[in-house]
Amino acid sequence: MKIYSITYDKVLDLKRAANEKFTDKIHFHDACGGQYFNLETPNAELQKFIVNYFEKQGVTVVFAEDNMNFHLEKP
C-alpha cells in the first residue's frame, strides 16, 4: 500500500461528519513529508468511526501505537 493524500474538501467532510457524533476534534496536518491526522485524546469509538468512514472509500486508516496519530493508505 502507499500513502494516500486527500483534498481539503474531503478533510472538511470528515470533520463535519465526526462533529455530528463526537465532541473530540480531529486535527489535520499537511506538510512536505505528507499528510497525517491526530486526535486530541484517544477515543476508541471515534477511531472506529474514522476507519468505517474511509473503508467506504476504499482507503485504509493506519493508527500509530498511541492510538491518536494516523495516516491514510490505498492499494
Spell out the domain ranges in the chain: 2-74
pLDDT higher than 90, residue 58: yes
Contact 70, 36 (CB under 8 A): yes
Check residue 40 and give its pLDDT. 95
Check residue 75 and give its pLDDT. 86
Q: Identify which of 63, 28, 35 has the alpha carbon closest to the alpha carbon of residue 49.
A: 63
Per-residue pLDDT tens over the stretch 8-48: 999 999 999 999 999 999 999 998 879 999 999 999 999 99
Contact 25, 50 (CB under 8 A): no
pLDDT higher than 90, residue 69: yes
